[in-house]
Amino acid sequence: MDSRTGFEQDRDCVTLGHGQGLKLEPCFQTDSLLPSPNASPMPQFLSRTMAAKNLDPTILFPSSQAVALPHEYKGGACPGEEAQALAFPRSRAPAPVPCAGDQLSNQQPREQLCDQHLRAKRARVESIIQGMNLPPTPQAFDMSPEAAFRHERERGGEMPQESKRKPRVSQQGEGAAGRVTPTGGTSHAKGCQQLKEQLCFLEQQLRWLQEKFYQVCDSEDAPQIQEESEKVQPLPGKPEDRLNKDSATATSNPHKAPLRRHVLSGLEEAEDRGDTGGLPSVVRVLSQALKHELAVVTSQVVDSVLKAVWPKADRHIQKQHHSLPMLGPDARREYSAGGKCRKPLAKPSHMNAPGSLGSLQAEVLPGALRKSLGSYASSFNSKGVKKSSQVPSMGYSLGSATPAQHSQLLSQLLGYSQHNPWGSDSHESPSALERDCPEPLNLHWGTIKLRSSTVRQQQHHPLPLSPANMESLVLLPAGRDGHSELPAANDRVPFASTHMQEALTPGHLKKAKLMFFFTRYPSSTLLKTYFLDVQFSRCITSQLIKWFSNFREFYYIQVEKFARQALLEGVVDACTLQVSRDSELFRALNMHYNKGNDFEVPGRFLEVASLTLQEFFSAVRAGKDADPSWKKPIYKIISKLDSDIPEGFKAAGCSQELLHS
């Protein structure tokens, strides 16, 4: 099914006078799509001024700035512009500042961890050495539920902290997952009870070990044993290292690393060192082995208890990777910009079931988020400046991942363009026309003003999502029947909560308009890949194509108008016709496609517009407009100047996000 446009097909085989010189090497690096590790992607979202303050210089100033120019464009009628472009002073972006949040989230727990670890160690060693006459108290191992969470966090990540801000399942109140922090409910009491039982069992084991231990030592050198055991700092000997290594193994495979093995290996190690001189080494090995084993078993116990007590929370945590908080049905727009298909399609199916998966689509629509979550919405003004700190209304953490995801996606959307507007497999190079651009293009490419509320939260993103899988996470909404319509999307992670629109919305229209800055002749295939939240039908496809047709119509009419006007004004050299951001033509076009002016029109578009203007000018001046089909050659030329659309435009929800921008 080749649904490409006629012009697009031409693009592949037809070479035109102007087109020949345009096949140039891409100006930007493809790998720059991945944000630099210490660069927040968010600033890419912002307007130029904001971007200048925050952007990673490596994003702003790709190394490959060299522009290869076709000979017909060099020098000649437009002297100085090339040099102007190259000499344009680049604003300096400050080096990325390490996120304070990172420091907070890393340092403090680390200190806590050490402190707790030391205390726990000491407690365990003392317990071992001094005997087990103590009553079984959970505190001895700091195994309160809270501690269990801390322990889990130490082991695996930051789950507990983030879980406290988990998405609500309904608006009525917090779901089970919203109460991750134990507060003494019945299930928690049950969990505590189980914990106690587990600990009793552990202590029994300890007693048994202690007896064995004393059998070995034969009470020969008890004081020395104690002295050795209480040395918190391990000797630089190998047993410690060995144990630490084994510890890692045992953690992942606890059942295959029984205590005896540690003891034996430790003993062997001691003997290998020739350290047969005495029990102290053996004791130390035993002590370390015990500590290690205790840690492992303790972890297991905590894990199992937690799983038993909060299975839902566990599942919920996993689910959070794929879903986002639910919103009410009014969080979505019912308007359809569709034409004749509007009536049957305009009614989004997801509005029938408030709180069900069907309404989840709203979750990935930041605009809708803003609409329904008033506090969240009102937190940001139109310039993306946070007015208040009312983030908590989101209330949950992977909820907090939601805006973060949006941010990242949208930053990709509009940030990719800064970095590499042409994408990886760019077949069109901007270089040929960039000679005219007096400003750093990469500052203009697809920068969007405002937004970005949640750049801060990205720093604490609880999920280890790379930009790549972030993208796949949101980009590929599964249909209601669970499978994507797009084969290309099948290998990606379906985003369970994303829902397919059955009608095109004003958001989609705005998105299409912005996309027009990049492509004038999108094929239906391309459109399908960029409107992933739309359930495509013939009608939808036709409508989208019609939109672009209308866009083109307006575009060509405007350009032709200005070309004729220039001719009337006595312009002689077509090359002097350049569309800048100050020109009337640009204003007219920008008003049409970018009404809110919240999108930084890519410089490439200015170049295409300039070329279109020149072509019209030349054709009219040559009297070609006498031919009824005199525009067709121009259309062909322009159709070859499409550039890749930033990947971020694929992001589900970006339509709505743009709508509210």
Partner DNA sequence: AGGCCTCCTG
Partner DNA sequence: CAGGAGGCCT
Q: Which of 9, 103, 112, 490 binds DNA (CB under 7 A)?
A: 9
Q: Which of 171, 191, 192 is nearest to 396 (CA)?
A: 171
Q: If binding is defined by CB under 7 A, does position 546 make contact with DNA?
A: yes
| The one among 101, 278, 339, 374 contacting DNA by CB under 7 A | 339
Tell which one of 53, 260, 307, 340 touches DNA (CB under 7 A).
Answer: 340
Nearest-10 Cα torsion for 247, 249, 250, 255: -170
| 7 binds DNA per the rule CB under 7 A | yes
Nearer to DNA, 15 or 49 (CB): 15
Span 552-581, contacts to DNA by CB under 7 A: 552-553, 556
Q: Rule CB under 7 A: choose which of 52, 337, 496, 567 binds DNA.
A: 337
Q: Give residue 146's Cα distance to chain centre.
A: 30
Among left, alpha and beta (phi > 0; psi -120 to 50; other), residue 231 is beta
Residues of this chain, 413-452, that bind DNA according to CB under 7 A = none
> Does residue 656 belong to the site contacting DNA (CB under 7 A)?
no
Q: Which residue has the tokens 């280890």?
A: 464
Is residue 548 within the footprint of DNA (CB under 7 A)? yes
Mark the segment that binds DNA (CB under 7 A) among 69-77, 244-252, 338-346, 569-577: 338-346
- Chain residues 35-74 in contact with DNA, contact rule CB under 7 A: none
- Pick the binder of DNA from 23, 592, 621, 624 (CB under 7 A): 592
Asked if 191 and 182 count as a contact pair (C-beta separation under 8 A), the reply is yes
- How far apart CA 143 and CA 154 sit, in angstroms, is 14
d(CA 623, CA 611): 18
Q: What is the 3-state secondary structure (H, E, C) of 57-112?
A: HHHHCCCCCCCCCCHHHCCCCCCCHHHHHHHCCCCCCCCCCCCHHHHHHHHHHHHH
Q: Does the footprint of DNA cover residue 543 (CB under 7 A)?
A: yes
d(CA 523, CA 4): 5
The reply on whether position 549 binds DNA by CB under 7 A is yes
- Nearest distance, CB of residue 578 and DNA, angstroms: 23
Least separation, in Å, of the C-beta of 656 and DNA?
A: 16
Contact code string over 477-516 relative to DNA, x by CB under 7 A: ---------------------------x----x--xx---
Of 375, 542, 583, 618, which one interacts with DNA (CB under 7 A)?
Answer: 542
| Phi, psi of 380, rounded to the nearest 5 degrees | -130, 135
Task: Let me know how many helices (H) and strands (E) the chain has, helices first.
Answer: 29, 0
Residues 6+ apart with CB under 8 A from 168: 174, 175, 178, 325, 326, 395, 396, 399
Quick check: 616 binds DNA (CB under 7 A)? no
**Minimum CB separation from DNA for residue 366, in Å?**
21
- Number of residues binding to DNA, judged by CB under 7 A: 38
Q: How far is the CB of 543 from DNA (least distance, A)?
A: 5
Considering beta carbons, is residue 2 or 582 the nearer one to DNA? 2
Residue where the block lists tokens 């592949």:
12
For binding to DNA (CB under 7 A), which residues are involved? 2-9, 337-340, 342, 504, 509, 512-513, 521, 523-524, 538, 541-543, 545-553, 556, 592, 629, 631, 635
